[in-house]
């Protein structure tokens, strides 16, 4: 049984060299996302200092999505910029196969549960509004557009799809493949600076800039062969702490995200450097396995947690005051989410998305 489970969680990368540290980075990212939703749902059972700790963890947990965006920026840009030919149809097909099978299954589960738990449903009552709302969600519009997603975490998929569409257009429109790498780096750096300035002045989807951090990471690590042997894990910790303290101290959001942009880029560059400290702990097998099923985990863990916290009041009343409850419940609840995610991964994502590559 153990060998079967391990075999399911190990992914073949074909002719491509396995970036095992990237698998670990995905594991870190999705665990941070878990902490956000776990910290939100456990709030009614907490009091005093436990709430302050929870707010701190909840604050930095949001950075899991930003780490995912950086990794997507790295991978998608890399699949296009170095290839001599680019097949638009094949590119689109691969993106659709990667996203939709698992999403549709989880989407159907949410719709099914909405019928049995109407108090938790987000579905409008009027038929035309319902059809439009379902179509908007299937097209992955919530996130960049002001639409409430049926699957709470699916807002980030609109950012991913936007990047999938826009990056090949930018690369070929400006013939970036013909540019020297240093010129491309300067272009992306300037776009990042302008982007943060515009976001500070006018707002907008500033987290799209994290994809550019991934682009710069690819240029430095893959094209220019730059290695960073130190400061990676320290940069990661600093990013988490800096973003977490925003729950206590009023620090400008856009400035905070700019710091995370830089610190996460350093962290990832260090992670992709051979024999660095970050690369060693990120290639810890259980962490990589979590990363390999991170998409399934990302989509289903929130629903699993919601179920656990719906039955928790029958076991522990919300009037129960225990400062250690957050830590006591975290491991078993995480294990349950792992189990549900593994089932989704093995039944849907692996055979219909990963093995189809």
Please write the tens of the pLDDT for every residue from 175-195: 999 999 999 999 999 999 999
Q: State how far Cα 213 lies from the chain centre.
A: 14
- Six token digits for residue 160: 């991913």
Which are the contacts of 348, defined by CB distance < 8 A and separation ≥ 6? 101, 102, 105, 296
At residue 13, the pLDDT reads 59
At residue 167, the pLDDT reads 97
- Six token digits for residue 136: 């908007």
- Positive or negative, the CA dihedral 330, 335, 338, 340 is negative
Mean pLDDT of 152-172: 96
Q: Is the pLDDT of residue 44 over 80?
A: yes
At residue 10, the pLDDT reads 85
Nearest to 67 by CA among 266, 357, 203: 266
At residue 12, the pLDDT reads 72
Instruction: Please compute Rg for the chain using Cα positions.
Output: 21
Q: Is the pLDDT of residue 319 over 80?
A: no
Per the DSSP assignment, residues forming a β-bridge with 145 are 142
pLDDT band, residue 15 (cuts 50/70/90): very low
Q: What is the pLDDT of residues 289-298, one digit of tens each?
A: 999 999 999 9
Burial 262-281 (b: 16+ CB within 10 A, else e): ebbbbbbbbbbbeebbbbee
Interior angle at CA 25, CA 20 and CA 27, nearest 5:
100
For residues 203 and 209, give the distance between their C-alpha atoms in angstroms, rounded to a whole number: 13
Q: What is the pTM of this model?
A: 0.95
Q: Is the pLDDT of residue 16 over 50?
A: no
Q: Is the pLDDT of residue 345 over 90?
A: yes
Mean pLDDT of 136-146: 95
pLDDT band, residue 321 (cuts 50/70/90): low
Domain boundaries, the chain: 19-354
Mean pLDDT of 246-275: 94
């Amino acid at each position: 049984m153990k060998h079967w489970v391990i075999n399911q969680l190990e992914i073949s990368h074909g002719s491509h060299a396995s970036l095992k540290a990237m698998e670990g980075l995905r594991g870190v990212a999705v665990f941070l996302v878990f902490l956000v939703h776990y910290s939100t749902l456990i709030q009614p059972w907490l009091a005093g200092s436990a709430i302050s700790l929870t707010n701190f963890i909840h604050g930095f947990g949001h950075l899991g999505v930003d780490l995912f965006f950086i990794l997507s920026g790295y991978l998608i840009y890399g699949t296009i910029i170095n290839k001599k030919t680019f097949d638009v149809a094949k590119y689109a097909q691969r993106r659709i196969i990667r996203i939709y099978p698992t999403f549709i299954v989880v989407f159907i589960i949410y719709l099914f549960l909405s019928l049995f738990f109407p108090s938790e449903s987000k579905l409008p009552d009027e038929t035309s509004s319902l059809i439009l709302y379902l179509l908007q969600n299937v097209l992955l519009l919530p996130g960049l557009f002001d639409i409430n997603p049926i699957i709470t975490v699916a807002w980030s998929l609109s950012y991913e799809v936007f990047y999938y569409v826009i990056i090949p257009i930018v690369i070929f429109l400006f013939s970036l493949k013909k540019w020297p790498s240093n010129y491309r780096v300067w272009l992306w750096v300037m776009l990042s600076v302008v982007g943060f300035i515009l976001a500070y002045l006018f707002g907008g989807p500033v987290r799209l800039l994290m994809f550019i951090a991934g682009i710069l990471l690819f240029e430095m690590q893959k094209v220019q062969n730059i290695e960073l042997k130190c400061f990676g894990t320290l940069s990661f910790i600093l990013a988490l702490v800096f973003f977490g303290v925003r729950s206590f101290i009023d620090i400008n959001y856009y400035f905070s995200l700019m710091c995370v942009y830089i610190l996460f880029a350093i962290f990832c560059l260090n992670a992709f450097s051979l024999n660095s400290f970050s690369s060693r702990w990120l290639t810890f097998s259980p962490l990589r396995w979590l990363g390999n099923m991170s998409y399934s985990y990302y989509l289903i863990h929130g629903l699993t947690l919601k179920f656990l916290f719906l039955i928790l009041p029958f076991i522990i009343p919300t009037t129960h005051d225990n400062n250690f409850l957050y830590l006591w419940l975290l491991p078993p609840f995480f294990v349950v989410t792992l189990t549900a995610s593994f089932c989704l991964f093995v039944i849907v994502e692996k055979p219909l998305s990963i093995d189809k590559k």
